[in-house]
Amino acid sequence: MIYREYGKTGKNVSVLGFGGMRFANPSDIDGSAEMLLHALNQGINYFDTAPGYCGDHSEDIFGAAVTEMKKLGKPFYLSTKSNKADGGEVRRELENSLKRLNVDCIDFYNCWYVLTMEDWAGRKKGGAVTAILKAQEEGLIKHPAFSTHLPGEDIRKVIEEDYFEGVTLGYSVINFPYREEGIKAATEHGKGVVVMNPLGGGTITQNPDTFDFIRVRPEQNNLDGALHFLMNNKDISVMLTGFRNKSDIDTAVASVDAYRPYTKEEVEEIRKHIDSDFNNLCTTCMYCNNCPVDIPVWKFVESANGLYYDADGSIADRLKYHWGTDISVLDLCTECRLCEDVCTQHLPILERFEELRSAIGDQ
Ligand code: SF4
Ligand code: SF4
């Protein structure tokens, strides 16, 4: 296992993190808890959960594992979250998480799921940020962080406000241009970076042919390609992978152990392919952030990618839960086609809107 410093916290975290959102049998609390022990024995020391994950069983599974994990005498770090804007509600969730996780202090606590800059303003106004910082002063939280789906430039703005010691963000070999700026900003300001969705929510491994270009060496499979590309970026502290069972853990650990640094040429090769092999897919580069009626075009076109390969979940859910929007926003479109003029992939964006409308109608 490879360990990296999480920002300036002095914590050495495993580059492969345990994401507690995909347990195969979450109602089997003890059986699932064994997976955390197994992971700790394999060198994983960063464990991420949240209220509500896996039918709200995930924090209980973590709590059941913690007592046994302490007995192993190896350092490990717990991360959980609150998505509430109201400070009082954050405090209640935090106290509940402490009880469920069976600890007096949570190592990393995320102001969770910051979707837009308006949302971020609401977290500050509602008292969520103050509540998290107060809990840190009281010793209930060690390191405050935030988790977000904002684009890179907005992540930079939140980082520069300097409330948090780290950021958790969605990032993968197939969407890296969208949040690269956020990772750069985190490093410039000494913050930790935890990457969620390193496998694009399973898309990369479920569609080996579409994403074949991420394998730069013959011995690699798509999982290796996805993880090794991220590991090659030293600014990333942890890649959070959602494990269903012990076998998923073993496979991911073996992949991390097989990592050898990429050459500059190999990285360039992947970057080039993002432009060329993705010729019918949106890369979330955000050049289309120029809509005169403020439609977040990239959110819709990226969601429409799911029509071209086997994606996890429904498109309506992706728009709602990942992007915080819905199809009715497209009613504002005047069909001026300014977005199509600047699209780096030359995508027929208005056609994609229509395809999205009918796909959502059918779901
Ligand atoms: S075509 Fe529609 S979505 Fe594209 S820039 Fe014009 S109004 Fe915005
Ligand atoms: S629609 Fe085109 S310009 Fe917009 S984010 Fe996707 S690839 Fe980039």
305 in ligand 2 pocket by Cβ < 6 Å?
no
Instruction: Answer whether residue 196 shows pLDDT above 80.
Output: yes
Phi, psi at 174, each rounded to 5°: -100, -5
Instruction: Answer whether residue 243 shows pLDDT above 70.
Output: yes
Instruction: Answer whether residue 52 shows pLDDT above 70.
Output: yes
Angle at the Cα of 193 from the Cα atoms of 192 and 198, rounded to 5 degrees: 155
The reported pLDDT for the residue numbered 205 is: 79
310 pLDDT tier (thresholds 50, 70, 90): low
Distance 323 CA to ligand 1 centre (A): 18
Which residues, 6 or more positions from 10, have their beta carbon under 8 angstroms from its beta carbon?
none
The reported pLDDT for the residue numbered 279 is: 62
Q: What is the DSSP letter of 197?
A: -
The reported pLDDT for the residue numbered 276 is: 64
103 and 126 Cβ atoms separated by less than 8 Å: no
Out of 287, 347, 349, mutate this one to test ligand 1's pocket (max ligand atoms within 8 Å of CB): namely 349
Residue owning the nearest CA to atom 3 of ligand 1: 333
275 pLDDT tier (thresholds 50, 70, 90): low
Which tops the pLDDT comparison, 280 or 137? Answer: 137
Provide the 10 A C-beta neighbour count for residue 54: 21
303 in ligand 2 pocket by Cβ < 6 Å?
no
The reported pLDDT for the residue numbered 23 is: 94
The reported pLDDT for the residue numbered 167 is: 97
Task: With CA atoms as reference, report the closest residue to 37 among 62, 16, 54.
Answer: 62
| Percent share of the chain, pLDDT over 70 | 97
Out of 298, 337, 352, mutate this one to test ligand 2's pocket (max ligand atoms within 8 Å of CB): namely 298
Give SS3 for 93. helix
Structure-block tokens of residue 184: 């750069």
Residue owning the nearest CA to atom 4 of ligand 1: 339
Q: What is the DSSP letter of 320?
A: I
The reported pLDDT for the residue numbered 93 is: 98
What pTM was estimated for this model as a whole? 0.83
102 and 67 Cβ atoms separated by less than 8 Å: yes
19 pLDDT tier (thresholds 50, 70, 90): very high
Radius of gyration of the chain from its Cα atoms, rounded to whole angstroms: 20
287 pLDDT tier (thresholds 50, 70, 90): confident
Distance 287 CA to ligand 2 centre (A): 6
One-letter amino acid at 21 equals: M
Phi, psi at 112, each rounded to 5°: -95, 135
Distance 295 CA to ligand 1 centre (A): 7
